[in-house]
Amino acid sequence: MLPNRSRTSVLVFLLPPLLLYCAAVLFPILQSLFLSFFSWNGISDMEFIGLDNYVRMLTADDIFWRSFFNALLYLAICLVLQLGGALVVASLLTSLRRGRELIKTLYLLPAVISTVAIAFLFVRIYSIDPVGLLNQLLHWIGLGTFERAWLSDVNTVLAAVSAPEGWRFTGLYMLIIYAALIAVPKELEEAAVLDGASKWTLFTKIRFPYIRPVWITTTIMATTYGLRGFDIPYLMTNGGPGQSSELLTTYMYKTAFTSTDFGYASTISVFIVIECLVAVGLILFMLKRKADS
Amino acid sequence: MKKLIRAAAVAAAAALALSACGGVGASSDPANVSPTGEIKPREISWLLSRPADGAVINIMKKLADDYAKDHPGFALNLITTPDRPSYIQKLETLAAANKLPELFDTDATPFAQHLAKQGKMVDAEKLLKTLDIYDDYRPGALDYQRFDDGSLYMIPFQFELEYFWYNKALLQKAGVTVPKSLDDIPAMCTALRSAGITPIAIDGQDQWPLERYVAYQPFRAAGPEFVQKLKKGEAAFTDPAGQKTVEWMAALGKAKCFQDGFSAQGYSDAQNQFTSGQAAMYNIGTWELPSLATDKLNSAVRDDVDFFTLPTTAGSATAANEFVSPSGIGMAVNAKTYDPLVSDFLKFALAKYPAEYAATGALSPTTNVQTTVPANATPLYKKALDTADTLGAKQAMPWDTQLDPTTNGRLQQELVLLVQGNITPEQFTSTMDSTIKQNAPKFFK
């Protein structure tokens, strides 16, 4: 327990960031909530329409649902690449004796490249005319039948725009998980090895339970980032062809700034906020139940 | 404490009063084109969507500098966002915040018409007439800027003609000739494809180039009125002219007219395909004359490049000399900030602009100057310019300037799917008609 005076000073120091947080995060969310009950094109008078926007979104908007399911698939691909990839690489790194720093740096590199550069890079990689890297590689290894315009094909475009986002942050999560893995006490591992535990048992019974708190944080981070994913799909395909790579975020942006339907766009943004909160709640619930059992 | 509150209230009231004073001298009546009062030089801004090093910006910068010599303290701040979708978003956001600058670019879109109706833009027709330069403008250049009711709120700075550029050698190789009718194009594409040639290079990423194609058949079948009715829901894609364009677009896709993966390819990708001799045709306007009709063009294709204008169709409602001839994005004058200074500067700049612009080798929106053909031009350059003198009275309007933004966005998306064969013409028709039905009433009430 802090003495009274220092408690006051802690509160005083915590207040400015709290105010900043309220102004920068809570206020816009509340404002969106307010706007979502109106029909407003930005230049005419705002018209109160109650829950009409919500009814339209949930019952009459095919693009909304398409974007929602696209966003879930986008999230799934990002999570597999980011968390799965990060865990595999981090585990392999711990067993490496030399060159760890170099590999860590190489994996982290994409996280520091600007999004626009990554988007342009991948547009070139996926290109068919002129032939990009991916199609060239497929051709070289004799899989020429799989060559295609990855970003124009409605069946591949969503995976194609998710991969760069996943690839980009694998290194970052790898670093966090790696830091957690090397903190696992060596004595525990050695004792288990002496008892005859296999590498798999070692991982599932000792290492993973030990890094669970970090894993939860990383999963929440990756999930909320994934649900808010916007820049790479927007830059690479602008949601196209058709609505094949449209996410809730890109759809919201277009509704607000292209269709100038600010009320309806706010409704979609309220949905995104709720979706993120639900996702975080679900993750916490599932991981906690697993830990309890 | 009470004193403090009272002082704060007084300060707030004073601030409000002062900010209200800021508007003194500015006219907010869109019809008042000649405000009276003293010219007080200050910095004015022009929010525009034109190439950063293009002729319009360079000339206006120079004219602003000249004007500032006689009016110390004057400056023209040019804020350009060449990427059109980003620009439109910026413009709409600023309009929503009521923070539009003195001058801003816009097409004759439904959104711009809203602004005009709210009295936020100066009546350009009255302005040009007062400055006594209205009659200098090409009628087509002004018509392009007009809203459907004939009112004019934007001033053009360019005049362009859109042609189908083609490579004679590639057409010959495939054994085809220049299409006489729009309906000949799908068969032509099939022939070019079987000769191993990409028929048409298109910038699919920016979406407007493909949207041009959807406008062609209705313009020929039913004239410029079709889109004016379509956007309001008074005509539909189920109508004969609508069905014709839907079927034609699907046929273009089926004949693989556009390069593979076109939807992810950009402006320069498309141009490179044509100028490197890989693609046989390329639909673009005279703003590309410097790269298509001068010695800058790849020497391997330079002598093979020619152009044809929008082909007609059997029983066409419009003539061969009527096609897409845009005068580019127009400049609107903010009525709220229009004062003697803005008026005087426009009078100065608009009088001197055409001669300066024509000297760069581009077509002026006015007829009182002669365009200088650059020294490095090929004979095609002059031929392209001369076509401007034989234009008919009607012009095909690009649909992206006509439809409401939501319908336009959906059309751009669905067109790609239609051309790629991902949806059927029937699906396209029903999606688009219901989108128009849902969105048009909000914009055109």
Nearest to B113 by CA among B156, B153, B143, B157: B153
Q: Are A81 and A167 in contact (CB under 8 A)?
A: yes
Average pLDDT over residues A27-33: 93
CA distance B282 to chain A (A): 16
Q: Which residue has the higher pLDDT, B17 or A106?
A: A106
Radius of gyration of chain A (CA): 23
How far apart CA B320 and CA B307 sit, in angstroms, is 14
**Residue B7's pLDDT is what?**
46
Interface with B, mutate which of A232, A260, A266, A268 (most B CBs under 10 A): A260
CA distance B327 to chain A (A): 23
Interchain contact, A129 vs B114, CB within 8 Å: no
Whether cis (ω within 30° of 0) applies to the bond prior to A241 is: yes
Q: Are A94 and A178 in contact (CB under 8 A)?
A: yes
How far apart CA B10 and CA B4 sit, in angstroms, is 10
Q: Are A241 and A157 in contact (CB under 8 A)?
A: yes
Place of tokens 């309009």: B95
How far apart CA B211 and CA B239 sit, in angstroms, is 19
How far apart CA B194 and CA B425 sit, in angstroms, is 25
pLDDT band at A292 (very low <50, low <70, confident <90, very high): confident
How far apart CA A154 and CA A244 sit, in angstroms, is 6
CB-based contact (8 Å) between A238 and chain B?
A: yes
Tell me the chain A residues in contact with residue B411 when contact means C-beta distances shorter than 8 Å.
none
Tell me the chain B residues in contact with residue A254 when contact means C-beta distances shorter than 8 Å.
409
For B96, the closest of A42, A127, A259 (CB atoms) is: A42
Domain B162-324+383-443 has CATH 3.20.20.210: no
Q: Which residue has the higher pLDDT, A5 or B222?
A: B222
Beta pairing partners, A246? none
Tell me the chain B residues in contact with residue A149 when contact means C-beta distances shorter than 8 Å.
260-261, 263-264
Mean model confidence pLDDT for chain B: 90
Average pLDDT over residues A39-58: 89
Mean model confidence pLDDT for chain A: 90
- B35-159+327-371 to CATH, choices 3.50.50.60, 3.40.50.300, 3.40.190.10, 3.30.465.10: 3.40.190.10
Question: Is residue B84's pLDDT more than 90?
Answer: no
**Residue B209's pLDDT is what?**
95
How far apart CA A151 and CA B262 sit, in angstroms, is 9
Using CA atoms, how far residue B314 sits from B252, B285, B318, in Å, is 18, 25, 11
Average pLDDT over residues B352-380: 94
How far apart CA B92 and CA A242 sit, in angstroms, is 24
**Residue A2's pLDDT is what?**
58
Share of chain B above pLDDT 90, in %: 80
- DSSP letter at B137 equals B
**Residue B28's pLDDT is what?**
61
Q: Read off the pLDDT of residues B301-331 as tens digits, 9 standing for 90 and up.
A: 999 999 999 999 999 999 999 999 999 999 9
Question: Is residue B445's pLDDT more than 90?
Answer: no
Q: Are A207 and A190 in contact (CB under 8 A)?
A: no
Nearest to A205 by CA among A220, A180, A177, A184: A184
One-letter amino acid at A48 equals F
∠ CA B99-B102-B106, nearest 5°, is 80
Tell me the chain B residues in contact with residue A243 when contact means C-beta distances shorter than 8 Å.
413
Interchain contact, A127 vs B264, CB within 8 Å: yes
The structure tokens listed for B387 are: 């076509």
The structure's pTM equals 0.86
Kindly list the structural domains of chain A, giving each domain's residue range(s) and its CATH number in brackets, ordered by start.
48-292 (1.10.3720.10)
One-letter amino acid at B25 equals G
Share of chain B above pLDDT 70, in %: 94
For A64, list phi and psi in degrees, rounded to 5. Answer: -60, -50
Question: Is residue B18's pLDDT more than 60?
Answer: no
Interface of B to A at Cβ within 8 Å reads 85, 88-89, 92-93, 95-96, 111, 114-115, 118, 198, 204-205, 207, 259-265, 273, 405-406, 409, 413-414, 416-417, 420, 422-423, 439, 442
Interchain contact, B114 vs A43, CB within 8 Å: yes
pLDDT band at B64 (very low <50, low <70, confident <90, very high): very high
Q: Are A154 and B422 in contact (CB under 8 A)?
A: yes
For A128, the closest of B111, B207, B261 (CB atoms) is: B261
Q: Read off the pLDDT of residues A180-228 as tens digits, 9 standing for 90 and up.
A: 999 989 888 889 889 888 888 988 888 888 898 899 889 999 998 998 8
Question: What dihedral do alpha carbons B397, B398, B402, B403 form, nearest 10°?
Answer: 140
Interchain contact, A241 vs B416, CB within 8 Å: yes
Q: Where in chain B is the domain with CATH 3.40.190.10?
A: 35-159+327-371, 162-324+383-443
pLDDT band at B19 (very low <50, low <70, confident <90, very high): very low
Q: Read off the pLDDT of residues B246-293 as tens digits, 9 standing for 90 and up.
A: 999 999 999 999 999 899 888 999 999 999 999 999 999 999 999 999
* SS3 annotation, B165-191: EEEHHHHHHCCCCCCCEHHHHHHHHHH
**Residue A293's pLDDT is what?**
67
| Residue A79 neighbours by CB distance under 10 Å | 19
Q: Are B242 and B431 in contact (CB under 8 A)?
A: no
**Residue A1's pLDDT is what?**
56
**Chain A (150-189) residues lying within 8 Å, Cβ to Cβ, of chain B:** 151-152, 154
How far apart CA A120 and CA A124 sit, in angstroms, is 6
For B259, the closest of A44, A129, A237 (CB atoms) is: A129
Question: Is residue B151's pLDDT more than 90?
Answer: yes
Question: Is residue A43's pLDDT more than 90?
Answer: no
CA B230 to chain centre: 20
How far apart CA B2 and CA B259 sit, in angstroms, is 75
∠ CA B417-B419-B425, nearest 5°, is 80
How far apart CA A78 and CA A68 sit, in angstroms, is 15
| Residue A50 neighbours by CB distance under 10 Å | 9
Q: Would you tell me the crossing angle of helices A62-79 and A208-227 to the nearest 10 degrees? A: 150
Q: Are B362 and B290 in contact (CB under 8 A)?
A: no
Interchain contact, B263 vs A240, CB within 8 Å: yes
Whether cis (ω within 30° of 0) applies to the bond prior to B156 is: no
CA distance A8 to chain B (A): 25
pLDDT band at B182 (very low <50, low <70, confident <90, very high): very high
Question: Is residue B409's pLDDT more than 80?
Answer: yes
How far apart CA A94 and CA B311 sit, in angstroms, is 68
For B422, the closest of A238, A242, A260 (CB atoms) is: A242
Question: Is residue B166's pLDDT more than 90?
Answer: yes
Dihedral sign computed on CA atoms, order B283, B324, B405, B100: positive
Q: Read off the pLDDT of residues B96-141 as tens digits, 9 standing for 90 and up.
A: 888 999 999 999 988 899 899 999 999 999 999 999 999 999 999 9
